[in-house]
């Protein structure tokens, strides 16, 4: 067999799917997995594609099977396993060889690994789309050196999802820029999912709808402004029947959300950047609260359950609230990406990020096309300042307000929708209330304030005497 053009380490769900995708696109690939039996199973699963795959048992054989300069994708769990794998590879590699980390790495780790790469090339690659995406076309967000991207791009573009023929894979800046974009993708993913879960909660608890009706509602919404992968799978999840009980599968799923941490990283990094992403933060907090099941049950017994039968909300108003919430959430996510790009000197093209998210990834949606357009037309502007999204808000902020207010009156928790509304109200208020904060700070700590009338800085109030 000819030397492989690329190597892949880690034949877990995502790694195996990506390896088959690469082989299917005509590239010869060598693979290696720590547990050799997994490689044997993988070769059986590969079927006809096995002809393009070189399975290897020893790491040295894997490296020797690659054409030089080598390109190796790591699909191992984020964290220490990546460092261990790089350390094991290093003595076997030569200057100019390329390592691509395709896991969900923390961008700080990727920054450090890229800086320590020395004479190797290093690419931190965010890969989105789950197993199906990896197999048939993921969305990919790269960061590292330009030379690393230039080497990897032909293969990555070939295997990526396509939107109108354009591959959903791009380079967003040095070091951890790609993994940072993936992290924010996941923060938005958490927020999108939480907004949907809140709409589901109002339909279920406030309007007493069954899962079939809920599935129908999401199906209908999926043909409007909310058209997206997440809306589509929400309808499918609501409609699914449990083979054991014969009833809706949703009714047998424990209401405690898991999380591997990328949404939380978004919230943490937003604070480091002093960037406002309250909808994402609310979504992370909601997952944390969801885990406290026993305590929630105890408090329901103590205070009573929220009354149901909320007749004052229409399905159209919930749809409107979701549209407004989604637009506000993405506004925050892109603003955070811009802040990070400035802080780290990445020069990330936000419009290109939106383009890469249009297909293949979990948050792909019809709206992302308009977002790409808006961010290209007016770079640096907030998404809600673009005419198309300003229109969405003009049309739907009253619904958002109504849904949040009615949910609050009836005791239904809607933290992400509430956060979206509070953000909108704060951002469209020219004269805010932080003059009081500044007054207080100056009163107790002589921190000084800026005068509104003269612009004079470091002023003090009469309490200074």
Contact footprint for ligand 6PG (CB under 6 A): 104, 128-130, 186, 189, 258-260, 262-263, 361-362
User: 141 pairs with which residues across the strands?
Assistant: 126, 170
- For ligand 6PG, the closer of residues 127 and 403 by Cβ is 127
Catalytic annotation, pick one of 182, 198, 281, 326:
182
Closer Cβ to ligand 6PG, 125 or 250, answer by number: 125
CB of 128 to ligand 6PG, least distance (A): 3
CB of 426 to ligand 6PG, least distance (A): 28
- Phi and psi (nearest 5°) for 168? -90, 65
373 is catalytic: no
Cβ distance to ligand 6PG smaller for residue 114 or 362? 362
Long-range CB pairs of 38-46, under 8 A, 24+ apart, other chains included: 38/11, 39/11, 42/11, 42/16, 45/16, 45/20, 46/19, 46/20
- The catalytic position among 57, 84, 189, 385 is 189
Taking the complex as a whole, the smallest distance from the CB of residue 126 to ligand 6PG amounts, in Å, to 8
**Nearest residue to 367 via CA among 392, 397, 401:** 392
What is the phi/psi pair of residue 287, to 5°? Answer: -65, -40
- Nearest approach in angstroms of CB 193 to ligand 6PG is 8
Closer to ligand 6PG by Cβ: residue 284 or 403: 284
The CA distances from residue 227 to 119, 213, 362, in Å, are: 46, 18, 13
Residue closer to ligand 6PG by CB (options 340, 362) is 362
Q: Which residue lies nearer to ligand 6PG by CB, 104 or 234?
A: 104
Q: How far apart are CA 131 and CA 30, in angstroms?
A: 20
Catalytic residue at 260? no
Nearer Cβ to ligand 6PG (110/262): 262
Q: What's the min distance (Å) between Cβ of 325 and ligand 6PG?
A: 19
User: What is the closest distance, in whole angstroms, from the C-beta atom of residue 391 to ligand 6PG in the complex?
Assistant: 29
Nearer to ligand 6PG, 169 or 207 (CB): 169
Torsion sign over Cα 293, 299, 300, 302: positive
Closest approach, Cβ 324 to ligand 6PG, in A, equals 24
- Taking the complex as a whole, the smallest distance from the CB of residue 257 to ligand 6PG amounts, in Å, to 7
What are the catalytic residues?
Answer: 182, 189
């Amino acid at each position: 067999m000819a030397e492989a053009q690329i190597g892949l380490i880690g034949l877990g769900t995502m790694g195996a799917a990506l390896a088959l995708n690469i082989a299917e696109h005509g590239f010869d690939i060598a693979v290696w997995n720590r547990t050799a039996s997994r490689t044997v199973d993988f070769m059986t699963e590969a079927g006809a594609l096995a002809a393009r795959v070189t399975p290897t048992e020893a790491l040295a054989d894997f490296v020797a099977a690659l054409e030089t300069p080598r390109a190796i994708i790591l699909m191992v769990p984020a964290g220490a396993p990546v460092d261990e794998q790089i350390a094991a590879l290093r003595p076997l590699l030569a200057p100019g060889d390329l390592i691509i980390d395709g896991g969900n790495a923390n961008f700080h780790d990727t920054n450090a690994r890229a800086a320590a790469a020395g004479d190797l090339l290093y690419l931190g690659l965010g890969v989105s789309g789950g197993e199906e995406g990896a197999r048939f076309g993921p969305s990919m967000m790269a960061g590292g050196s330009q030379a690393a991207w230039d080497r990897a791009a032909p293969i990555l573009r070939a295997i990526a999802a396509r939107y109108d023929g354009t591959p959903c894979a791009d380079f967003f800046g040095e070091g951890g820029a790609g993994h940072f974009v993936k992290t924010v993708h996941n923060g938005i993913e958490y927020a999108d999912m939480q907004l949907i879960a809140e709409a589901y909660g109002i339909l279920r608890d406030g309007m007493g709808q069954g899962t079939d009706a809920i599935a129908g509602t999401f199906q209908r919404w999926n043909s409007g402004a909310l058209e997206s992968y997440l809306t589509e799978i929400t309808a499918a999840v609501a409609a699914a029947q449990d083979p054991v009980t014969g009833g809706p599968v949703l009714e047998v799923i424990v209401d405690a959300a898991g999380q591997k941490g990328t949404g939380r990283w978004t919230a943490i990094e937003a604070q480091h950047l002093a960037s406002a992403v309250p909808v994402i933060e609310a979504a992370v907090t909601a997952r944390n609260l969801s885990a406290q099941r026993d305590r929630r049950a105890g408090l329901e017994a103590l205070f009573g359950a929220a009354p149901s039968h909320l007749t004052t909300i229409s399905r159209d108003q919930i749809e409107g609230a979701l549209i407004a919430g989604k637009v506000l959430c993405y506004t925050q996510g892109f603003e955070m990406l811009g802040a990070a790009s400035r802080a780290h000197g990445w020069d990330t093209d936000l419009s290109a990020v939106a383009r890469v998210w249009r297909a293949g990834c979990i948050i792909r949606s019809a709206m992302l096309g308009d977002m790409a357009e808006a961010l290209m037309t007016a770079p640096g502007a907030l998404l809600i300042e673009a005419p198309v999204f300003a229109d969405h808000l003009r049309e739907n902020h009253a619904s958002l307000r109504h849904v949040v207010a009615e949910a609050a009156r009836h005791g239904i928790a809607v933290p992400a929708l509430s956060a979206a509304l509070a953000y909108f109200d704060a951002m469209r208020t020219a004269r805010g209330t932080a003059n009081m904060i500044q007054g207080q700070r100056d009163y107790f700590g002589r921190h000084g304030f800026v005068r509104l009338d003269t612009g004079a800085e470091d002023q003090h109030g009469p309490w200074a005497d």
